[in-house]
């Protein structure tokens, strides 16, 4: 699975978003039971693995330091492989 920046629509440029997508802290929040949420780190290419997710759908957000904090970047389901999340400012 991987995370990449989307088209910039704010003062934060695409290059800045790519910086956070690579080596960033990704939070996966279970949409129907937030106690089942977890976090993972992306690697230097923006790839990540989330193991042990319980069945269901997760909203993905990445922490962007120096801004308002979290940026939504899509949803995924437990068991998805090769998911592509797009971080939009």
7 vs 37, higher pLDDT: 37
pLDDT at 31 over 60: yes
19 vs 11, higher pLDDT: 19
> 34-73, pLDDT tens digit by residue?
899 999 888 887 788 888 888 999 998 888 766 667 888 8
Nearest-5° angle of CA 35, CA 41, CA 58? 40
* Pairing status of strand 84-87 against strand 2-5: parallel
Write down the residue that tokens 């090769």 correspond to.
82
What dihedral angle (degrees, nearest 10) is formed by the CA atoms of 51, 27, 31, 1?
-50
- Strand runs labelled E in 1-89: 2-5, 25-30, 38-41, 57-64, 69-77, 84-87
pLDDT of residue 68: 67
What is the C-alpha separation between 88 and 37, in angstroms, rounded?
21
């Amino acid at each position: 699975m991987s995370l990449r920046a989307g088209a910039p629509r704010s003062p934060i440029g695409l290059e800045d978003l790519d910086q956070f997508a690579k080596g960033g802290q990704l939070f996966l929040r279970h949409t129907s039971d937030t106690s089942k949420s977890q976090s993972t780190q992306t690697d230097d290419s923006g790839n990540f693995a989330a193991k042990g997710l319980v069945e269901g759908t997760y909203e993905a957000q990445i922490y962007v330091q120096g801004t308002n904090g979290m940026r939504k970047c899509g949803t995924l389901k437990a068991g998805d492989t090769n998911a592509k999340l797009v971080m939009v400012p």
